[in-house]
């Protein structure tokens, strides 16, 4: 797992914040904590985390309200959001996922289970998240299926494009 992902944890229980922070930091994650919904929104804007773990029942704003606010902003449309809650009924889970959460974990949660769920979410996004690559004066954008050399667009067949992108992602590697 790639180190250095930022994780924001928002929970009004100090013990939960401490246990989860300790375990995530031990695995190499950068952890930011918040004690209520308003602080979670403020810290999300400041730190731009890769993943936000929200307790559903917090003071000031609930986890659902925080999720709604963040999902309404283009800056957070691709940010992973996971709910953590003592409420374990079907209606609450469905409501959380319909709000825009990517996962849902019930309390009490084992740190090992949480770590594996966090890693799985981040792996899934890492695979899906094709990024533009620049090698010398060549720009390759897999989302737009576009290759540019300096400011000139180059048209390639699909296999040629995929091969060029693969080679650009792994410079110096023999295939």
Domain boundaries, the chain: 6-128, 133-169
Residue 75 in tokens: 């800056």
Rounded (10°) CA dihedral 33, 34, 39, 42? 20
pLDDT at 126: 61
CA nearest 118: which of 62, 42, 49, 65? 49
Model pLDDT, residue 127? 53
Phi, psi of 89 (to 5 degrees): -90, 160
Q: Which of 113, 110, 5 is nearest to 52 (CA)?
A: 5
Question: Rounded distance, CA 32 to CA 17, Å?
Answer: 10
Topology given in CATH for the domain delimited by 6-128: Rossmann fold (3.40.50)
What is the tens place of the pLDDT at every residue in 46-83? 989 989 999 888 889 988 888 889 988 888 877 899 98
Binning pLDDT at 50, 70 and 90, where does residue 3 land?
Answer: low
């Amino acid at each position: 797992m790639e180190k250095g992902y930022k994780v924001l944890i928002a929970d009004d229980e100090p013990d939960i914040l401490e246990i989860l922070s300790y375990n995530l930091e031990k695995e190499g994650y950068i952890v930011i904590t918040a004690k209520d919904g308003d602080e979670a929104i403020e810290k999300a804007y400041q730190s731009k985390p890769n993943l936000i773990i929200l307790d559903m029942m917090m003071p000031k704003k609930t986890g659902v309200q925080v999720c709604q606010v963040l999902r309404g902003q283009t800056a957070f449309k691709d940010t992973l959001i996971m709910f953590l809650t003592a409420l374990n009924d079907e209606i609450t889970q469905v409501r959380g996922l319909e709000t825009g959460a990517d996962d849902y974990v019930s309390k009490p949660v084992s740190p090992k289970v949480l770590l594996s769920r966090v890693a799985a979410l981040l792996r899934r996004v890492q695979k899906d998240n094709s990024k533009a690559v620049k090698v010398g004066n060549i720009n390759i954008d897999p989302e737009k299926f576009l290759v540019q050399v300096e400011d000139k667009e180059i048209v390639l067949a699909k296999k040629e494009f995929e091969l060029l992108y693969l080679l650009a992602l792994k410079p110096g590697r023999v295939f």
